[in-house]
Structure 1
Amino acid sequence: MSPVRRRDLVVLAVGIAVASWLVVRAAYGSLPVRSWWLPLPLGVLALALALGARALRARLAVQRDRRPGPRGSVRPVEPMLVARLAVLAQASAYVGAVFAGVWGGLLLHALPSIGQLRAAGGDAVTGAIGVVLGAALVAAALWLEHVCKIPPEHDDEGTPGGARA
């Protein structure tokens, strides 16, 4: 499994932002009310991923160093759990990029319209919160993916992966 490319996430977010901006521009008056709390589930998911990455990093560090943890021994981490978390991290990175693009499209339409439309001020706040929380989800997912990577093994001669010069 290859890691998520940051460039792909940026291209996805920008493409979705443009598409979202076009949809919002065409149907702004007929869209339902956009409350400031709508993007909050992205923040909850980002927080959950960040806490999971922190806990997994601590458990893997204890397991790699083969030392007892702060509260005694720590259960070993199952490899399938790490693989599933890596897949979850990759999927969450793409979801965060999509939602950052969606909220970015709303923000792109609402910012220039603040003085002209009554709802644009609230929509700009909602869009800004959505972009920030979407980016936070991407960052947390990329961190979890990084924690799930297997470090290169070193042999007795100190070269990574057993390679010899």
Structure 2
Amino acid sequence: MLKATRVRDLLALAVLAAIVSWLLVRVLYGSLPPIPVYAGASLYPVALLEVVLAFMIRSRVGKREIGDGPRQLHPITAARAVALAKASALVGSAAAGVWVGFLLFLLPQRSFVQAASEDTSGVVVGAVGGIVLVAAALWLEHCCKTPEDPGEPAA
């Protein structure tokens, strides 16, 4: 049985990614290209897809429509959704950490470096996208849980 994704593991990954990216940006910022506003926007469609998938799976699980028949959620599909959720949570956490590392470097520089001021909006879009992806992934993972049988005591 798979264990639920732990938020503290995701936070640890985000902090590690933020530290590494902050160190790299400190050294390499002058040679990096400008960061467009849409740089981190690719995370949003994935998050939206996962939210839609979560509601579909939640509906089927709630109605106990799990099985091999027509109009039923195949167990392998649910397992694949859990794998997608776990992978997306890690990617979102790492992406959010990288963008936060950028942001930690850019915020103090904004007042006297024009490029830092211009790059901030793209970095914020990316950081929020990573956080949104993590939230969507955790929601999808939660929706894939099987409901407890009311006749059995909780373990």
Settle same-fold status: TM greater than 0.5. Answer: yes
Uncovered stretches (5+) of structure 2, i.e. residues with no partner: none
Tell me if the contact between 2:5 and 2:86 (Cα under 8 Å) persists in the aligned partners: yes
CA displacement at 1:126 relative to structure 2 = 1.4
Q: 1:104 maps to what in 2? A: 100
Q: 1:18 maps to what in 2? A: 19
Q: 2:6 maps to what in 1? A: 5
Letter in 1 for 2:153: P
Residue pairs, 1:1-165, within 5 angstroms: 1-63=2-64, 75-155=71-151, 159-160=152-153
User: Which range moves more in the overlay, 42-51 or 52-61?
Assistant: 52-61
Tell me if the contact between 1:107 and 1:123 (Cα under 8 Å) persists in the aligned partners: no
Alpha-carbon distance in 2 for matches of 1:57, 1:77: 10
Alpha-carbon distance in 1 for matches of 2:150, 2:112: 63
Tell me if the contact between 2:61 and 2:146 (Cα under 8 Å) persists in the aligned partners: no
Tell me if the contact between 1:106 and 1:123 (Cα under 8 Å) persists in the aligned partners: no
Cα deviation code 1:60-94 (max 9, x no counterpart): 22336xxxxxxxxx711100000010010000000
* Larger Rg over CA atoms: 1
> How many residue pairs are counted as aligned between the two chains?
150
Alpha-carbon distance in 2 for matches of 1:123, 1:25: 14
CA displacement at 1:154 relative to structure 2 = 2.7
Question: Percentage identity across aligned positions?
Answer: 43
Q: 1:71 maps to what in 2? A: none
Uncovered stretches (5+) of structure 1, i.e. residues with no partner: 65-73
Alpha-carbon distance in 2 for matches of 1:9, 1:57: 23
Q: 1:69 maps to what in 2? A: none
Alpha-carbon distance in 1 for matches of 2:48, 2:124: 18
CA displacement at 1:10 relative to structure 2 = 0.3
